[in-house]
Amino acid sequence: MFIGAQVSLYPMTSGFVGVISSALGALDPYRGDLRIETDDISTLMVGVPEPLFRAMRDLFAAAARGPDHVTLNATISRGCPGEPDDPSCRCETLAVAQGQPLAARQADALAAVRDAPVAGVEIDVQFSLYVMGADRHMDEIYGCIGFLKGSGVFLRSKNFCTRLRGDAGAVFEAVRQAFLRFGPAEGHVTIDLTASANSPSPR
């Protein structure tokens, strides 16, 4: 299986170069666990979901600790049939999770969010989960939405996506659980995500 994310960071400041360069330093502790490649448009991170989502969390939190409005866009994918298998992406937790009934997966996801470390940065996220090529895919999506509504970081439903708000630790853990526990273990599942912090727009 291939598991990875293409991530782009957008600081709304004339000093954006410094913000991006500094935030990229937050990825250094993950370079032993993930394949990380940065170019002029995005950063590719390839590997299992736990360090992958922690790396995204720490990248965004590092930028969001400044005073400026900053956003992050990410496309996250597992099981894409167009990508080669990568041994670094083998995830036993994914297979175990998908062998459980939906209610058990929801309960495990809720427990993981409750235990998430506090990052100390309040963020907003909207994201969409896409379960590709699976029968009854909406059962998985509705199951995920049910989990999110009880997660403590659910804000509201929107057209085509779900809004989350809270500490970056809990929010990124909720998205990781959505990615890990809903949709077939060997199927193609993607997430389209936008995160925002320090927006000048009224909440």
Would you call 50 helix, strand, or coil by DSSP? helix
Instruction: Assess if residue 191 is contained within a domain.
Output: yes
CA nearest neighbour of 19 among 30, 29, 4, 9: 9
- Domain of residue 105: give its range: 3-197
Question: Could you give the residue ranges of the DSSP H alpha helices within 38-183?
Answer: 49-64, 92-98, 102-114, 137-149, 168-181
Instruction: Assess if residue 121 is contained within a domain.
Output: yes
Average pLDDT, the chain: 93
Instruction: Assess if residue 203 is contained within a domain.
Output: no
pLDDT-derived band at 183 (thresholds 50, 70, 90) equals: confident
pLDDT at residue 106 in the model: 96
pLDDT-derived band at 186 (thresholds 50, 70, 90) equals: confident
Instruction: Assess if residue 23 is contained within a domain.
Output: yes
Q: Residue 182 and residue 169: Cα distance in Å, rounded?
A: 20
Instruction: Assess if residue 59 is contained within a domain.
Output: yes
Q: 158: which DSSP letter?
A: E
pLDDT in tens, 141-158: 999 999 999 999 999 999
pLDDT at residue 87 in the model: 85
Does position 133 have pLDDT exceeding 80, yes or no? no
Does position 134 have pLDDT exceeding 70, yes or no? no
Record the tokens describing residue 55, joined without a space: 């790396």
Instruction: Assess if residue 202 is contained within a domain.
Output: no
Number of domains making up the chain: 1
Please state the pTM of the whole predicted model. 0.95
pLDDT in tens, 32-86: 999 999 999 999 999 999 999 999 999 999 999 999 999 999 999 999 888 888 8
Contact partners, residue 62, CB within 8 Å, separation at least 6 = 22, 23, 25, 26
Does position 202 have pLDDT exceeding 80, yes or no? no
Does position 112 have pLDDT exceeding 70, yes or no? yes
Q: Which residues on neighbouring strands pair with residue 166, listed in sequence order?
A: 123
- We report the CATH number of the domain holding residue 61 as 3.30.70.930
